[in-house]
């Protein structure tokens, strides 16, 4: 797509032709009412964004809906993303985007709290009351039917902690293969821990490109990379 001028970007923003990305992590049942109210406000003021919608925006350079878009992003792969966040999105007609740390889902429930604490996955009190903290693979497959599921590395890693070829294969490539095998569909996007931008490391960028991702989510933008 041709890079728009600043004036064109300003005009698009003034016309509401933009996408707002809102990030969430654990969404405990105890805070369900608060989350429901917030998501309801987004559903009222914004349009849902499917993968096809995002592709169309990058292909044409123009947002095609009457309202600006919103992407609620629910990180890590918490079980409450399935029991709380996804059902609320379903009720409100929103498309949720779920970046999954695949090794968190793979982890034995008995060890998930320890895994989370060792891998920068924040826990609230409700998460530690016993039982499974992460969603399971059946739940990943189920939410992928209505929402967008993609890798957040395997072990919740930042690019600055992934050095060897084996590490890159595991965190970037194998996590994609695993999600695609479970869901039966493309994992179109990737995101590092800390939301690091595309363009900070040519080596890491190359692995992301070669893996076949179309998008990289970052703290300040969504990068179209393929």
Give me the average pLDDT of each 10-residue run along the chain (226 residues).
53 70 97 98 98 96 95 98 98 98 98 98 93 97 98 97 97 98 98 96 98 96 92
pLDDT computed for residue 49 by the predictor? 98
pLDDT computed for residue 1 by the predictor? 37
- Domain extent listing, the chain: 6-224
Sign of CA dihedral 162, 163, 169, 172: positive
User: Which positions ≥6 away from 148 have C-beta within 8 Å?
Assistant: 50, 51, 95, 96, 97, 98, 188, 189
pTM, two decimals, is: 0.93
- The CATH number assigned to the domain with range 6-224 reads 3.20.20.370
User: Which positions ≥6 away from 93 have C-beta within 8 Å?
Assistant: 43, 48
pLDDT computed for residue 4 by the predictor? 54
Which residue, among 98, 115, 117, 97, has the nearest Cα to 106 in the 3D structure? 115
CA 76 from chain center: how many Å?
Answer: 8
């Amino acid at each position: 797509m041709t890079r728009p001028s600043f004036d064109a970007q300003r005009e698009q923003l003034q016309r509401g032709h933009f996408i707002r990305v809102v990030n969430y992590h654990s969404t405990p049942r105890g805070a369900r009412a608060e989350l429901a109210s917030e998501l309801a406000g987004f559903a009222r003021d914004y349009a849902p964004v499917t993968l096809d919608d995002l592709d169309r925006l990058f292909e044409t350079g123009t947002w095609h809906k009457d309202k600006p878009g919103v992407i609620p992003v629910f990180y890590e792969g918490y079980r409450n993303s399935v029991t709380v966040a996804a059902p609320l999105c379903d009720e409100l007609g929103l498309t949720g985007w779920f970046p999954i740390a695949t090794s968190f889902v793979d982890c034995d429930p008995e060890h998930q709290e320890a895994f989370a604490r060792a891998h920068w996955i924040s826990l609230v009190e409700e998460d530690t009351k016993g039982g499974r903290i992460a969603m399971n693979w059946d739940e990943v497959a189920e939410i992928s039917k209505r929402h967008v599921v993609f890798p957040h590395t395997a072990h919740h890693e930042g690019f600055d902690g992934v050095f060897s070829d084996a590490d890159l294969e595991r965190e970037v490539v194998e996590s994609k293969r695993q999600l695609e095998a479970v869901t039966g569909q493309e994992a179109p996007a990737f995101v590092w821990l800390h939301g690091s931008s595309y363009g900070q490391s040519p080596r890491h960028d190359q692995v992301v490109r070669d893996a076949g991702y179309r998008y990289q989510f970052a703290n300040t933008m969504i990068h179209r990379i393929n």
